[in-house]
Amino acid sequence: PKHVPVVSIVAALLPDMGIGFQQSLPWRLSKEMKYFREVTSSTFDGGKQNAVIMGRKTWESIPSRFRPLPNRINVVLSRSFENGQMKQVSLDENKTYFQSSSLQRSIDSLMSLMGEKLERIYIIGGSEIYNHAFDVIDHVLITKLEPVDTVRPKMDTFLDVAKLNDSFQEMNQNLADFLPPNVTLPKPHNQAYIENENGYKFEFSLYSRK
């Protein structure tokens, strides 16, 4: 294929874009998780699929009943995986995923393996992968969270805000067209898609390369 868009998707707490604490998400937001599932699973073309690429620690943080994430090609990165071709691994009869030791090689392998059947590649974390991937991605889907009458959670991993702002600009007016039609967005309140849950206010946003 000529070009498959590579898109990071992440939920981050303002103002410093904290994304994790002790190897898991610092919040439980089912509407936000539903948005993640719909965006990464849905396609414009019913004959195509998306792939998700994640680091080894993110893979281990996903409850085992949801692994590999269904209806998506899953790729797990680790420096300890053998160099060379991306390798397919089986969990059982019908659950398989891929292992790779390089982000760039996994992107190239997905494109040659799936050809025209691949619609988008989503980078799904964690912080080490996101901050390294800023050099190769085309867009970032950030859900910006703010606590409302809730204590700010402790966080130990962050997006690199300087890298984000250096190379990307917010393009929220394009969000609805960027997402496949069966993704559910909240009613827009003056240009912004805002949701509220569990003591957090959050806004779905799109950043595109400058």
The C-alpha atoms of residue 48 and residue 205 are separated, in whole angstroms, by 24
Which of positions 23-42 make contact with ligand FOL (CB under 6 A)? 25, 32-33, 36-37
The C-alpha angle 89, 21, 78, rounded to 5 degrees, equals: 25
The answer to whether residue 10 forms part of the interface with ligand FOL (CB under 6 A) is yes
Q: Which of residues 107 and 122 has its CB atom nearest to ligand FOL in the complex?
A: 122
List the one residue out of 138, 123, 191 whose CA is nearest residue 168. 138
The answer to whether residue 137 forms part of the interface with ligand FOL (CB under 6 A) is no
Give helix then strand counts, H and E, for the chain.
Answer: 6, 13
The answer to whether residue 66 forms part of the interface with ligand FOL (CB under 6 A) is yes
How many chain residues bind ligand FOL (CB under 6 A)?
Answer: 18
Tokens 């949701």 identify what position? 195
The answer to whether residue 143 forms part of the interface with ligand FOL (CB under 6 A) is yes
Q: Are 204 and 185 in contact (CB under 8 A)?
A: yes
The answer to whether residue 11 forms part of the interface with ligand FOL (CB under 6 A) is yes
Q: Which of residues 9 and 77 has its CB atom nearest to ligand FOL in the complex?
A: 9
The answer to whether residue 14 forms part of the interface with ligand FOL (CB under 6 A) is no
The C-alpha atoms of residue 86 and residue 102 are separated, in whole angstroms, by 9
Q: Nearest approach, Cβ of 11 to ligand FOL (angstroms)?
A: 4
Element (H, E) at 106: helix 103-114
The answer to whether residue 125 forms part of the interface with ligand FOL (CB under 6 A) is yes
Q: Which of residues 1 and 161 has its CB atom nearest to ligand FOL in the complex?
A: 161
In DSSP terms, which residues pair with 185 in a beta bridge? Answer: none
The answer to whether residue 99 forms part of the interface with ligand FOL (CB under 6 A) is no
Element (H, E) at 108: helix 103-114
List the one residue out of 95, 75, 73, 79 whose CA is nearest residue 87. 75
The answer to whether residue 124 forms part of the interface with ligand FOL (CB under 6 A) is yes
Q: Nearest approach, Cβ of 157 to ligand FOL (angstroms)?
A: 11
Residues that bind ligand FOL (CB under 6 A): 9-11, 25, 32-33, 36-37, 58, 61-63, 66, 69-70, 124-125, 143
